[in-house]
Amino acid sequence: MQLSIYMKRAFYPLASRLSSPVQGKLPKRVTADEAVSTIASGDHIFVHGPASTPTELLEALCRRVDSHGIKDLRPIHIILGGKVPWTDEKYFGKVRSNGLFLCGNVRKLVKQGQADYTPVFLSDMPTYFYNKTFPVDVALISEEIKIGKLIAENLVENGATLQLGIGAIPDSTLVAMKNHKDLGIHTELLGGGVMDLVRTGVINNTKKSVMPGKIVTTFAFGTQKFYRFLDNNPMLHFDCCSWTNHSDIIRANSKMTCINSGIEIDITGQVASDSIGSTFYSGFGGQTDFMGASSTSYDGMGKAIMAISSRTAKGQSKIVTTLSEGAGVVTTRGHTRYVVTEYGIAYLGGKTVRQRAYELIKIAHPDDRERLEREAFERLNDIYVHPHASTPTELLDALCRHVKRNNLSRIRPAHIILQGRIPWTDSEYWGKIRSNCLFICGNLRPLVNQDSRGFSSMGVDIDCSRTATSSAKKIIGTVNWSALPRVLNRISAIVNPSMPRTYGDTVIHISHIDSLVEVKDRKIYAKPDRGKPNEVEQAIGKLIAENLVEDEATLQLGIGAIPDSTLAAMRNHKNLGIHTEAVSDGVLELIDAGVITNVKKSVMPGKIVTSYGYGSRKFYDVINDNPLFHFESCEWTNRPEVIRSNSKMTCINACIEIDLTGQISSDSIGRFGGQVDFISSASTTYDGKGKAIITLPSRTSKGKSKIVGTLSQGSGVVTTRGHVRFVVTEYGIADLGGKNVRQRAYELIKIAHPDDRQMLEKQAFERLKCMPSLD
C-alpha cells in the first residue's frame, strides 16, 4: 500500500525547478523599494506567510502605489502576519487582495467589500496556481485547557499520529499529553506546542506509517524560539499541501487523530468554521481533508475530533439548534464524529439526528440546555421516510400486529428508503415504534428463490444491506449497521420470486436465514412513472451532455428526470462507462445503442458498477441474471480512492438550493447519500480529468429562485462551497473552480432565472458589500 501511495505523489514542474540550481545566476542585492519597482497596475502578486510575511515588501508596494499612481493590484495570500498596509482606506479601489484563508488583519476588508475571499481546500491550492486559475505575476516571499485535557486523556492513544491547528486548544491538548508515548505529527500547520514533547521524547514519530521519524507539515507559525527549534532540524519535513492533505496519505497514517475547531455546531452535527452571515472569519484550510479522511482511515483507528468551547466570549451558545443564516459549513454532519467542549465529549458516529441532539445538548453550557431541548423537540418532532423498491410490506404489517397484540414498546426499526404503505405511521403506534431513516432501502432483506445449492441473491438493494445482514443482531424492521454487534443472531427474510437475481457481492446462503416468509402475489416495488422530463430538465441534460461529458467518461448519476434527460442527450457519445451509487432505466437505451460499453473504465472494465437499482418492471427484467450489472456494497462503490481511480470520472448530482457562495443544500428535504463521496472525489481524480457537476432548475415549482443569497435557516449542507465546481441550470453552466465569492456570485446570477437576477444582485451586494463581477 505504501508504494502505491508514494507513486501517486505529484510535484509540479515549477516547484521542481525552484530547487534546481541555475548556473551562473545570483540575485541582486537591492532595497525593498527597488525590489517592487517593476510591479505595474493589474499585476497579480503572491504574498508569502504567515510567519514569512514580507512586511517590508508590502510597505514598499503600497509606497509604489502612492508615488506612481498604480491601481488594480491583486495580492493573493493564505494567512498574513503583522499589519497589512493596504487596509488603509486610501488604498480602496487600488489594491484588492484575495484571501484563500482569512485572519483578523484582512477580515474587515472582506466584510467592507474591499477584498475577496476564495473558498478553497488547502490541498487544491497548488493545482489552482499551477493551472493559472490563480495567476501570479510576482511572488513576494519570505477555555481551552479543560477541553485539551479531555481530548488528551480520552481520545488520543499512544502511538497516534496527530493533526492539530494553531491556538489555545491545540496547545493545551499537547500540554496534557506529557505522559503519552510514541506520538507522531502529520499536519498542515505546525505550532510551537510540539517543542516540549519532542524534547521529552513523547513525540518521536517512530510509530508513524507515512514518513516514520519525521514531523510532516506544510507550514509553521510561532514564536522566535519556535523558529530556532525548526532551524536546520532534520526531524522536520515540509511538503506541499497537495500531498500532506491528500486523503490517501492521511488515511494511510496509523491511528490518525485529527483535532479541529469551529465557530458553531448545530444539534445535527453540522459545523460552521468559515463564515456566519455576511462575515467570513477564516477559511476552508484542510479541515475537511483531515476530518473526512481520519474517519475512514485504512487501519480503522482514526478519529475526527471537533473541539469547541460551549459559549462565545459574549455568552452565546456555540451549540445551536440551526446554524445562523449564511453560515459557512466546512465539516458536514456526515463527517462529524467526536465533539468536545469543556463539559464533555459527544460521540455522533452512527447516531440518529435525535440521538445527536441528545449528545450535543449534554455538553452544552448548563444554562443553555433547557432551551436547546425545547428547540430540538420543535425541530426534530417529525421523521421523513423515503420510498424504494424492496419494502417487505407483509413483514411490516406482521410486526405492527405483533406490537399491538403484545403491547410492546421501544421497537426501533432503522431503514434507508421504504416504499408503499408504512403501517407504523398510524397514531396507535406512536411511542411504541420509532424508526430511524438512513436513506436507502434495507429494513428486511428481500431475497429471490434459492438455487439448487442453497444460495440466494439479495437482489437490487445491496447498498449497505450486505454489511447490515452480516452485522445485525436482528433484522426485523431494519438495522443501523454501524451501531450493532458483529455477531449475527437472527435473520427473518422474505422470499420474493419477482426480485431479480443479480451479480456481484449479492449472495447469501440459506443456512444463514432463521425464518422465511414467502410472497407469491406481490411484485417488488417499481419506480413510479412520472412521465417524460419537462423542457427545463431536458435543457439541463442537454447542456451537461454537450459541454461537460467527454467520450470514454465514467459516469455517476442519480435517479430522476435530470439524470435521465442527461443520458438521453448522450446518444452520440462513445464508450461511456458507469460507476455509480444508484442505477435506473436511463442507462438501458444507451446500452442497446452501444454508447455505454464500459470498455474504457479503469475500475472493473466491462461492468456497470452500482450499489442499488430502482426502476421500472422493464429495468428489473433487464438486470435479472445479467452479468453486465455488478452490485457491490456502498462502502466500496463510494470509497474515495475507488472513485478517484476511475478514468474521466464525471459525477452529476442534484440539489435543493445553492447560495451565492456555492454552498449546496441537498439534505434536509432530501437525503445525504453519496453526494459528498462522489463530488469531492471527482475533483481530485488520479488522472486529473474528473468533473464534479451540480444540477438544479433555476426555480422551484412555485416560482421561487433555487439560487439564493443565503441558504434557508436549518438547511442541510451536503456539498460545501469548497467542493463545488460546475453548477448547471437551464440557463447555462457556472464554473466556480478557483473563484472568489464575488466571482462566484457573478457566475451563479448569470444562470439564475432572468426575473430573479436583479434581486440576487441586491442580495449579493448586501452580503458582500460589493457588486458581483467577473474580475
Task: Quick: pLDDT tens for 758-774.
Answer: 999 999 999 888 899 98
In this structure, what C-alpha cell is assigned to residue 649?
A: 470520472
Give yes or no for residue 331 having a pLDDT over 60. Answer: yes
Which residue type, as a one-letter code, is found at position 236? Answer: L
* Nearest partner of 399 among 429, 374, 420, judged by Cα: 429
Strands (E) across 300-454 are located at 303-307, 319-320, 329-331, 338-341, 344-347, 414-415, 436-437, 446-447
Give yes or no for residue 377 having a pLDDT over 80. Answer: no
Of the listed ranges 319-323, 444-448, 722-726, the least confidently predicted one is 444-448
pLDDT digits (tens, 9 = 90+) for 708-735: 998 877 677 778 888 889 999 999 999 9
Residue 102: count other Cβ atoms within 10 Å of its Cβ: 24
- Decide which of 3 and 552 is more confident: 552
The residue written with cell numbers 497596475 in the block is 41
CA 565 to CA 534: how far, in whole Å?
A: 9
**pLDDT at residue 122, rounded to an integer:** 60
Write the secondary structure of 305-338 as one string of H (helix), E (strand) and C (coil).
EEECCCECCCCCECEECCCCCCCCEEECCCCCCE
**pLDDT at residue 438, rounded to an integer:** 46
**pLDDT at residue 89, rounded to an integer:** 92
Give the helix/strand (H/E) hosting 379: helix 366-380
Enumerate domains of the chain plus CATH numbers.
32-140 (3.40.1080.10), 145-381 (3.40.1080.20), 393-437 (no CATH), 455-516 (no CATH), 535-768 (3.40.1080.20)
The residue written with cell numbers 477555555 in the block is 143
Axis-axis angle for helices 168-175, 144-154 (nearest 10): 50
Share of the chain above pLDDT 90, in %: 35
| pLDDT-based confidence at residue 458 (cuts at 50, 70, 90) | low
* Nearest partner of 526 among 638, 649, 657, 622, judged by Cα: 622
pLDDT digits (tens, 9 = 90+) for 239-294: 988 899 888 999 999 999 999 888 889 888 888 875 555 555 555 567 888 988 88
CA 6 to CA 403: how far, in whole Å?
A: 56
Active-site residue list:
188
Helices in 488-582 by DSSP H: which ranges? 535-547, 561-568
CA 406-407-410 angle, to 5 degrees, is: 115
Work out the widest C-alpha separation in the chain, in whole angstroms. 93
Backbone angles phi, psi at 57, to 5 degrees: -70, -35
Give the helix/strand (H/E) hosting 99: strand 98-99
Task: Out of 27-31, 180-184, 346-350, 663-667, give the one with best mean pLDDT.
Answer: 180-184
Which residue type, as a one-letter code, is found at position 32? Answer: A
Q: What is the DSSP letter of 426?
A: S
In this structure, what C-alpha cell is assigned to residue 174?
A: 499537547
Q: Are 678 and 637 in contact (CB under 8 A)?
A: no
Q: What is the DSSP letter of 501?
A: P
Give the helix/strand (H/E) hosting 241: helix 241-244
CA 247 to CA 677: how far, in whole Å?
A: 12
Q: What pTM was computed for the model?
A: 0.68
Q: Are 580 and 630 in contact (CB under 8 A)?
A: no
Task: Out of 55-69, 399-413, 740-754, give the one with best mean pLDDT.
Answer: 740-754
Q: What is the mean pLDDT of residues 186-204?
A: 92
Backbone angles phi, psi at 447, to 5 degrees: -130, 150
In this structure, what C-alpha cell is assigned to residue 646?
A: 476511475
The CA-based dihedral angle spanning residues 625, 629, 630, 633, taken in that order and rounded to the nearest 10 degrees: -100
